[in-house]
Structure 1
Amino acid sequence: MGSGSPLATHAIAPAVVLRGDGAWDEARPRIASLCHQPVLLGRSAATAPHRQRLKADLESDGLVPSAAQLLNDCCEDDLQRISAEITACANDAVIAAGGGKVLDAGKLLAHRLQLPCITVPLSAATCAGWTALSNVYSPSGAFSGDVSLDRCPDLLVFDHGLIRQAPPRTLASGIADALAKWYEASVSSATSHDGLVQQAVQMARVLRDQLMLDSREAMADTTSEAWVRVAEACGLTAGVMGGLGGARCRTVAAHAVHNGLTQLEACHGSLHGEKVGFGILVQLRLEERLGGNQLAGQAHRQLLPLLRELGLPVCLDDLGLASASLSDLQQVCAFACREGSDLHHLPFQVTIGALLEALVGAGEAIPTPPSRP
């Protein structure tokens, strides 16, 4: 920061990150040094066998874990209920094992109760296991807002063996979410004079390039080195940009579109990164049409076929919105354009009507401009 600049505070990374095959077993002595009676937080029935194994391992290490389960997304109803359970059980740490919403809930509970936080991602669908941020939703799954936390987790356990067992769809979703780091950070922060922000933007560019090169092979072969690079890029590296570069490096229009889409029940079956990936296409259309940025059109032409190959949604129909009414789509756009939305990090004004047009045309190819004679 330059002379006279306000003090900046950064929560950049977990205190300890263990990654690779067997990371969970390696983490067990560290967990025992952090707590004796942790709560093990989870949600889905699909990951229940993994959580049972983790709980059994903790018990064999002499710990006394209790289990807690989210009934919805990371919402206040669940947070209040589980917070009371933790207090009643005198738990001394929170271990969150699951997808992004479980990890967000675990981090927020640990933050509020001032307990050690251990994150154990069970997919590479988001970087929530890394960050000092939690997204909060309504009980029905509509995005409400985000909460900045005072620190990243005390321990992040990124066990490749656990991650490999997640459905391939979760990795594709993670790829889309991680790709957004470049498209959002570059438009919101590329002109910053802050050295850390500049470095975060360039890290996001390298991250995008690696995902462009490795994603297809990673999706085809979970035993490949490409899979390792991509899974760690999505679950680990993608978390660095927001911590290093701050909020403006985290989210812009792509995430604002995600937040708007969550207001519709028909979209609740789509994963976080699936909505964000669609949001990138929307953002690029806005940049090309409203910002006059021909490079955004080129980026759209490059990204669209990759998202299709990965089985990610690229149009409203893919998101289950084929029969959505005009009123529904306007609700999405109104939420994305509301005061304080990340959408306003774009360097130009976006109206509800302009966003609606970009939303409808997101999956249509942008024509290549004619070459100059």
Structure 2
Amino acid sequence: MADVSPFTPAVAGSADLAAVHAIAPQRVVRGPGALRKALPRLRALTSSPVLLGRSPAVAPHRRALAQQLQLADAQQLLLHHDCCDRDLLRLETTIRQLEADGVIALGGGKVLDAGKLLAHRCGLPCVTIPASAATCAGWTALANVYSEAGAFIHDVSLDRCPELLIFDHQLIATAPTHTMASGIADAMAKWYEASLSSGHSQDALVRQAVEQARLLRDQLLLECEDALDHPGGAAWRRVVESCALTAGLIGGLGGARCRTAAAHAVHNGLTQLAPCRHWLHGEKVAVGILVQLRLEEAVGNQPLAAVARDQLLQVYGKLGLPTSLAELGLRKLDAARLEVVCRFTCRQGSDLHRLPFAVTPAQLEEALRFYAEPRPIPRQAPQPVQPRG
């Protein structure tokens, strides 16, 4: 028998190298009244935290939590912009001056990302409390950094997921309906992107994550209407947890190979244009999925991508999601604007390059122009398809 030790260095060029996964938060408390139920865990985790937020709409919930935790006004910190370096540096200095021992982030995806980044930089435990089901940011060991104006710059991989995620259905129910529609699009993108970016990986966790992404997409296609029509009902509960929790788990299991491809790359490119920035993350991703399917059809020679597109157009119509650049505020689609989006989307290191085929700026421009205006919604939704092997 060969003398092989687990401490033997890996052979150069070996196919399977050791991987490190940040799969999930240490604890997840979910359901109606989850915030109240989680308070003992929260207090055990941090005795002198800062509470981070931004949106005035969520301010009453922040004040109620601050009162329950007996936090001084100085410990309630507000972002002035999206998750951007200038804000992060200011808040990091404040956290250190306060000698806080934890970061609690209550709000939307950018607030949660900022909370995770601040906790990472300060070496503190992190608690995320999503105020909507618009993204899975409360779960993941990843944060997106934007400019002060709201243009995407880069993402940051973190050492760990939050120590505690509190997903309170009563809090989520206060969010506007379109935030759930946005979350549905962002969660469905897991399948459309991971099934391509994972390639033909034989890694067990990657394959399981891709399969879970397919099941997630199918569930959302089947239940999204019921969820929207019956807030607080059984389908609604399953859908909001799928968007905010299951989608994050898929990214944790599969890692970078199951995270993003062209749909999110297009989102990142669109944020470079001011008219697109006020739209929710998932609303831009929704158009990004359509653009990716056009690239699959026109560049990747995948005819079934057109069938998937017709299916999504039907679903988007029911959810009120945008289906074109015009609906995202780009009614004047001139060459200069397209060049900005294409240059950023095709830059070196972009998620676009996780596609199994190369895409040129000219090909991306064609795909974007294909969705310049709303396309006719098919009269009858086709049956669910799987346009990948």
The two structures have a TM-score, normalised by structure 1, of 0.95
Q: Which residue number in structure 1 is paired with residue 205 of structure 2?
A: 196
Is 2:97 the counterpart of 1:88?
A: yes
Is 2:187 the counterpart of 1:178?
A: yes
* 2:54 maps to which of 27, 43, 46: 43
Q: Which residue number in structure 2 is paired with residue 239 of structure 1?
A: 248
Rounded to whole Å, the distance in 1 between the matches of 2:179 and 2:53 is: 17
* Residue identity in the other structure for 1:235: A
Is 2:269 the counterpart of 1:260?
A: yes
Is 2:71 the counterpart of 1:57?
A: no
Q: How far has the Cα of 1:358 moved from its partner?
A: 0.7
Secondary structure at the aligned position of 2:77 is classed as strand
Rounded to whole Å, the distance in 1 between the matches of 2:156 and 2:82 is: 15
Deviations 1:126-150 (A, max 9, x none): 0000000000001010000000000
Rounded to whole Å, the distance in 2 between the matches of 1:295 and 1:191 is: 19
Matches within 5 A, 1:145-184: 145-184=154-193
Deviations 1:190-238 (A, max 9, x none): 5111111000000000000010011011111112111001000000000
Rounded to whole Å, the distance in 1 between the matches of 2:249 and 2:122 is: 25
Q: How far has the Cα of 1:29 moved from its partner?
A: 0.4
Secondary structure at the aligned position of 1:321 is classed as coil
Q: Which residue number in structure 1 is paired with residue 259 of structure 2?
A: 250
Secondary structure at the aligned position of 1:223 is classed as coil
Rounded to whole Å, the distance in 2 between the matches of 1:355 and 1:308 is: 24
* 2:88 maps to which of 57, 70, 79: 79
Secondary structure at the aligned position of 2:88 is classed as helix
Deviations 1:101-139 (A, max 9, x none): 000000000001000000000000000000000000010
Q: How far has the Cα of 1:309 moved from its partner?
A: 1.4
Secondary structure at the aligned position of 2:56 is classed as coil
8 Å Cα contact 1:42-1:69 kept in structure 2: yes
Rounded to whole Å, the distance in 1 between the matches of 2:286 and 2:131 is: 21
8 Å Cα contact 2:261-2:353 kept in structure 1: yes
Q: How far has the Cα of 1:57 moved from its partner?
A: 1.2
Q: Which residue number in structure 2 is paired with residue 344 of structure 1?
A: 353
Secondary structure at the aligned position of 1:118 is classed as strand
* 2:321 maps to which of 292, 312, 320: 312
Change (3 A) 1:214 1:190: farther
Rounded to whole Å, the distance in 2 between the matches of 1:170 and 1:232 is: 13
Q: Which residue number in structure 2 is paired with residue 108 of structure 1?
A: 117
Change (3 A) 1:366 1:124: closer
Q: How far has the Cα of 1:297 moved from its partner?
A: 1.4
Rounded to whole Å, the distance in 1 between the matches of 2:317 and 2:288 is: 14
% same residue? 59
- What is the number of residues matched between the two proteins? 365
Rounded to whole Å, the distance in 1 between the matches of 2:255 and 2:95 is: 31
Q: How far has the Cα of 1:323 moved from its partner?
A: 1.7
Rounded to whole Å, the distance in 2 between the matches of 1:123 and 1:191 is: 34
Rounded to whole Å, the distance in 1 between the matches of 2:330 and 2:321 is: 14
* Residue identity in the other structure for 1:261: L
Q: Which residue number in structure 1 is paired with residue 297 of structure 2?
A: 288
The two structures have a TM-score, normalised by structure 2, of 0.91
Is 2:332 the counterpart of 1:323?
A: yes
Q: How far has the Cα of 1:365 moved from its partner?
A: 5.9
Deviations 1:276-310 (A, max 9, x none): 01100000000011111122111111111101211
* 1:211 maps to which of 220, 224, 229: 220
Rounded to whole Å, the distance in 1 between the matches of 2:317 and 2:133 is: 19
Q: Which residue number in structure 2 is paired with residue 335 of structure 1?
A: 344
* Residue identity in the other structure for 1:20: G
Rounded to whole Å, the distance in 1 between the matches of 2:39 and 2:111 is: 20
What RMSD in Å do the two structures reach over aligned CA positions?
1.8
* 1:25 maps to which of 32, 36, 46: 36
* Residue identity in the other structure for 1:12: I
* Residue identity in the other structure for 2:98: C
* 1:128 maps to which of 125, 137, 146: 137
Q: Which residue number in structure 2 is paired with residue 371 of structure 1?
A: none
Secondary structure at the aligned position of 2:51 is classed as strand
Secondary structure at the aligned position of 2:214 is classed as helix
Which blocks of at least 5 consecutive residues in structure 1 are unaligned?
Answer: 369-373
Q: How far has the Cα of 1:267 moved from its partner?
A: 0.6
8 Å Cα contact 1:315-1:360 kept in structure 2: no
Change (3 A) 1:229 1:77: same
* 1:13 maps to which of 21, 24, 39: 24
